[in-house]
Homo-oligomer: A and B are copies of this chain.
Amino acid sequence: MLQTPPAAPGMREEEIDTPALVLDLDAFEANLASMRDMLAPTGAKLRAHAKTHKSPVIAHRQIAHGAIGQCVQKVGEAEVLAWGGVPDILVSNEVVGAGKLARLVALAKIAQVAVCADDAAHVAAAEAAAEAAGIRLSMLVEIDVGGARCGVAPGPEAAALAGRIAASKHLRFGGLHAYHGSAQHLRRAEQRHFAIAAAAEGCRRTVDILRQQGLDCPIVSGGGTGTFMLEAQSGVYNEVQAGSYVFMDADYGRNLDASGQERSPFRQSLFVLATVMSASRQGLAVVDAGHKAVAVDSGLPLVAGLAGVKYVGASDEHGKLAVEGGEAPKLGQKLRLVPGHCDPTVDRYDWYVGVRNGRVECLWPIGARGMMA
């Protein structure tokens, strides 16, 4: 079953049923525009990561603001986007299993799709799926530029795998996927600078070898919300994959800018609206949003706009607020939480509730919620 929509257009924010995922539309639109304006002078294109929003509606808003397409992590996410009319989708990940690959190539008739490899076995399996579907599938080589997770080493190893792809009648070499995940949350600007300089150097070296092999590298893709301007200005990346920028979260909010301030070009647009459901103890209030409602993998949520009130503990369905000054939240009061991490928080909901000037303006379905396969 899907969740019942927690609101209807026209309602006041206080009338929204909780817990609910509230999208501040002014902040959201400002983020779309900021990203477009920041990238414009660099020449790099945005291929926004849909693992954040999981919604064709938001994908289309990003495309309307200059994005050339979307990234996803899973075939199930690619399906929902393609079915929702998104024309260009990169699975920025390896896909294993004949069933999953058959689903992916089936999408090639309605959208441009591409997928990554870091092993000859991925190439062989994709080749078989593409041949069976009678299409030519674009495949990128994932290189490990510091995340130490998936990806082959930059340089000759990556170039060899690219050559294997390019040699296939059923595949097309799409380029390099070179995302440095662990650099996104390095707190100091110079740490991020050094990490992405090294990543760009790995890309450059690989592109040079490919050129010597006579192979063109159409896409060099990477960069998240923490570093995308570094990739965009590197001279080698031509696509950036930022996703969280549309929403932001408490964890990205802790990144420091070059002057050492917690400051971002993006505004917090995503909130979990919660209700105080118990206030039986002095100095404590309990809200109806625990870690089933707001992800805690990157830290606890913050309480927006209430000085002295701190979210101090999450159990499955309860959040404990400590009141350390200011006015204590009252039983029944609704308040906005800033999620610690936006992507997995979105994955708990079927609906965005778009709010402007205190009123519900729209409901948008999170169509790819839970599409993990």
Contacts and interface: CB of A to CB of B under 8 A. Distances in A.
A191 to B, nearest CB: 19
B314 A297 contact: yes
Contact of A150 (B76, B99, B119, B318): B318
Contacts of A320: 149
Contacts of A348: 347, 370, 372
Interface string A301-329: 00000000000001111101000000000
A74 B275 CA distance: 13
Interface string A277-318: 111110010101101110111000000000000000011111
A121 B343 contact: no
A1 B73 CA distance: 18
Contacts of A317: 51, 73-74, 93, 372
A367 interface: yes
Contacts of A275: 96-97
Nearest to A343: B316
List the number of copies, as a whole number: 2
Interface string A349-360: 110000000000
A23 B19 CA distance: 29
B74 A279 contact: no
Given A74-B317, A151-B280, A316-B51, A344 B291 contact: yes
A286 B96 contact: no
A4 interface: yes
A280 B372 contact: no
Contacts of A292: 343-344, 347, 372
Interface in A228-248: none
Contacts of A152: 280
A362 interface: no
14 contacts: A1-B80, A17-B373, A19-B372, A96-B275, A97-B275, A144-B280, A149-B315, A150-B280, A151-B278, A151-B280, A152-B280, A291-B297, A296-B297, A350-B370
